[in-house]
Amino acid sequence: MRVTLFGASGLLGQELVHELSGNASSRSGPSGDDDQLTALSSQDADLRDHARIRDVIRDSRPDWILLSAAYTDVDGCESNRDLALAVNYEGAVNVAEAARESGSRLMFLSTDYVFNGSKRSPYEISDARNPTSVYGESKARAEERLLKTLPEVCIARTSWLFGHAGKCFPATILKLASTRPEISVVNDQRGSPTFTRDLASALVELCRASARGVVHVTNSGDCTWYEFATEILRESGLPAKVKPVTTAEFPRPARRPAYSVLSPDSLHAYNIRMPVWQDALRRYLDGPLAALPVVR
C-alpha cells in the first residue's frame, strides 16, 4: 500500500509516520509489495498551492492519501477566518481534486466541532452538521465538498487529541500541576479524549478495510475536561487539586461544543474497537514513544 501523508509533523502526523513506517518494514499489502510512505510537512507542501499538491500526488502515486494537515488553532481561526478556510476548506479541496485525477483514495481528518454540542447522546454520522466556530465551519464545509468531489472519500472525525508529539491537554495539566497547588478546569464540556497512537492505528486499519463515508474514531468512553484533568493527576501522583469551573468563567474566542461525544457504531461496522480513554492515558503517562520519528 502506497501512502502519501500530509501533515507529517503534527501531533497525529508523527504517530502516523511511526505506524506506517513500522508497517513498511513488517507488513505487506494485498499485492505482496511492502508499504511505501511519502510523509510531507506543511513546509514540504502547502495545501493552498494546488499545483504543488497535484505534482506531489502525481509523483508519489499513492493508493491512499491521508490528510491530517490543518489549521487547528481553534481560537486563532476566529480572528483568521480567511486563513482557516483557505487551509481547511480550499486546501482540502485541492487535495481531493488531485486525488480524483490520480485515482487515489482519500482519508480526511475531521472533528467533533462540526456539531453544535446541543445533544445529550452520542452524535451519529447521520446527525446534521451545525458548527458554532470558524474552525468547525471550515471542517464542515470541507466534509460536504469532499463527499461531492470524491464519493468514496473516508472522513474520519475524531476529538480531544493527546499524544507525545506536541502540545496537548495532559502535558499542560502536568506542567501546571508541577508549579501550582490548584488548577481550575471546565466541567461543562463533555467529549472523548483520544490518544494519537490509538487513532493512528485505527486509521491505518480503516485504509486496509477500504473504508468510505464518515467514520467516528475516538477512544471509548467520555468525560469532562475536569474529569480528564482529575484522572491525569490521579495517575501521575501529583498532589495538585483540580477545581471544577464553568465555561462562562473562562470565556474563549471560539465557542466549544458542550457535548461532542461521537458514537462508535460507524467504527465498529469495520470491526475496529478503540481502548477506553483511561487506558490510553495510562499508556501516554508511561512515557514518550522512543522510536517516534521527528518530521520537520
Catalytic residue numbers? 135
Q: Residue 140, exposed/middle/buried by CB under 10 A (0-12, 13-18, 19+)? A: buried
**Pair type for strands 190-191 and 223-224:** antiparallel
Burial 3-42 (b: 16+ CB within 10 A, else e): bbbbbbbbbbbbbbbbbbbebbeeeebeeeeebbbbbbbb
Closest by Cα among 218, 165, 159 to 14:
165
Grid cell, residue 283, equals 499508556
Tell me the C-alpha distance between 119 and 115, whole Å: 9
Cα 93 from chain centroid (whole Å): 18
- Which residues pair with residue 259 across a beta bridge? 190
Q: Which residues contact 128 (CB under 8 A, 6 or more apart)?
A: none
Tell me the C-alpha distance between 15 and 22, whole Å: 10
The DSSP 8-state label assigned to residue 4 in this structure reads E
Per-residue HEC secondary structure of 104-169 comes to CEEEEEEEHHHCCCCCCCCECCCCCCCCCCHHHHHHHHHHHHHHHHCCCCEEEEECCEECCCCCCH
3-state secondary structure of 20: helix
Q: Which residues contact 33 (CB under 8 A, 6 or more apart)?
A: none
